[in-house]
Amino acid sequence: MKAPSSANQDAAIAEFLERLGRRKRDKNYAVHLRLSESYFYRRNRAFLSIASNTVMALAQRYLGQMFTLANEDLFFVFIADDDAELVKVAKQLQYLFAEDPMAFESGSGTDYEKLCTWYNLVKEFGEFRAAIEAVIDTGAKDRDAEKATGRRKKRDETLEPLTTGEVAGIENALRQADVSIFLKRQPVAVVLSDQKPETVFNEFYLSINAIKQRLFPKVDLRNSRWLFQALTALLDDRMLAHLKRDRGHARFSINLNVPTVLSEKFVAFDESVKSGARGSIVVEFQRADALYDFGAFRMARDYLRSRGYRVCLDGVTPDVLGIFSHADLDVDFMKLFYFKDQEADWQSAKVRDLVKASNKLRLIMARVDEEAALRLGKTLGINLFQGFFVDRLIAAYESRHPSTSALKRALVPPPLPIPQRAQPTVPRAPSVKLGKAER
């Protein structure tokens, strides 16, 4: 389902206020999340959708409603039966803002209140209405100014937006296509002081860009997050089906959606894998999956662990490492993306302390496309790397006999958090020489 536009939600919240003003508001609370005033959220555009999805999940859980206004502020109205429920909501929202410099010291009288203003709608309905009307009025003035100056948002006019009616045809095309031609692999390797790479596992993924160029060159696959998510779920199914047929891979990782792991299709894939081989498979989740529905993420993580798989959180950047270093996430690997324009973040004392406190064998520095990135990672004490520069190193050294001690340290199975029921104990991952396929 396509989310309503900001303009439509400006009108929707105005109508909602009228209805809310005419009824009893016992146990009704509201929060104004001023993302428009947050430097952190303006700089990290992807986290706007993460914040929206997190608050939407809370709205569904607490019989509430969420509105996104034209300036990207969020208004969240919900019902809390007691103080304990109110505290739960407050803690989750405070956790969402944990890395914002404006809310570093959260609490009364600090900048946290500027970013996250609370209202008891029994006593403060008037103040809540005034805050909404102020945001809507400012947005209207900004749109009038934009119209007067003739400014327009940039958009690739050669791409057609992806509509619901087109999804069925795209799904049929993907089901009929041979996805193996879109399958890519990229190694994750240990790079020691002499820069000799030793492959730990290969990441297998279906290239969205290659699929788009071959099958849908004129369609904007990312136009709608929800429809795009449906397509990635279909690609998950095709990937699992391919791996069930192809047993030529020893140690590998795959990137899946949380609902895919909790589906019958993954159960079918799991049943096709020998118990001793599960320890050499890593399942990667995108960082948004952990924040969007943490309960589902935790369920998927614990299920995978109980079956012997390893779990990796993908797409973390140094400026938000503090959020994803939280003990509750408890993953086996974490991929830290390197971008040259974020090098100052990598060199900050806070990131150095977080990396130093973490298990070096579990941190993977990804997007290592140049030697400078590799040198930076090594100065921080990181040993696992992925990227085009690492690919070139592996090709240059033609490393065919990796150090088994390095691989064992990187792939040692974690303790199983969920007791097994009448199942044999999952053994440690076998030490496998590079190039030897599991049968």
The residue extents of the domains of the chain are 6-149, 161-411
Question: Is pLDDT at 439 greater than 90 in this prediction?
Answer: no
Question: Is pLDDT at 175 greater than 90 in this prediction?
Answer: no
User: What percent of the chain stands above pLDDT 90?
Assistant: 23
Question: Is pLDDT at 313 greater than 90 in this prediction?
Answer: yes
CATH architecture for the domain at 6-149 = 2-Layer Sandwich (3.30)
Mean pLDDT comparison of 7-16, 144-153, 208-217, 230-239, highest-scoring range: 230-239
Decide which of 426 and 115 is more confident: 115
> Taking a C-beta distance cutoff of 8 angstroms, is the pair 103, 110 a contact?
yes
Encoded tokens for 336: 């830290």
pLDDT of res. 386:
95
Question: Is pLDDT at 414 greater than 80 in this prediction?
Answer: no
Residues 43-47, mean pLDDT to the nearest whole number: 62
Residues 247-272, mean pLDDT to the nearest whole number: 88
pLDDT band for position 282 (cuts 50, 70, 90): very high
Single-letter code of the amino acid located at 159: L
Q: What's the gap between Cα 61 and its chain centre?
A: 21
Q: What size, in residues, is the chain? A: 439
> Taking a C-beta distance cutoff of 8 angstroms, is the pair 59, 65 a contact?
yes
Burial class (CB in 10 A: 0-12, 13-18, 19+), 302: middle
Residues 114-138, mean pLDDT to the nearest whole number: 87
Which of 225, 237, 290 lies closest to 263 in space, CA to CA?
Answer: 237
pLDDT of res. 112:
59
Angle at 311 between CA 309 and CA 313, to 5 degrees: 165
Residues 79-108, mean pLDDT to the nearest whole number: 70
CATH architecture for the domain at 161-411 = Alpha-Beta Barrel (3.20)
> Taking a C-beta distance cutoff of 8 angstroms, is the pair 211, 413 a contact?
no
Burial class (CB in 10 A: 0-12, 13-18, 19+), 38: buried
Q: What is the mean pLDDT of the chain?
A: 77
pLDDT band for position 333 (cuts 50, 70, 90): very high
Which of 322, 261, 335, 256 lies closest to 296 in space, CA to CA?
Answer: 261
Question: Is pLDDT at 109 greater than 50 in this prediction?
Answer: no
pLDDT of res. 276:
85
Encoded tokens for 372: 């400078």
Residues 70-76, mean pLDDT to the nearest whole number: 87
Task: Tell me the C-alpha distance between 389 and 359, whole Å.
Answer: 23
Angle at 156 between CA 159 and CA 366, to 5 degrees: 95
pLDDT of res. 384:
93
> Taking a C-beta distance cutoff of 8 angstroms, is the pair 41, 96 a contact?
no
Q: What's the gap between Cα 4 and its chain centre?
A: 22
Encoded tokens for 176: 């009929």
Question: Is pLDDT at 303 greater than 90 in this prediction?
Answer: yes
Residues 296-301, mean pLDDT to the nearest whole number: 90
Question: Is pLDDT at 223 greater than 90 in this prediction?
Answer: no
Cα–Cα distances in Å, from 353 out to 116, 206, 382?
28, 35, 13
pLDDT band for position 135 (cuts 50, 70, 90): confident
Residues 356-380, mean pLDDT to the nearest whole number: 87
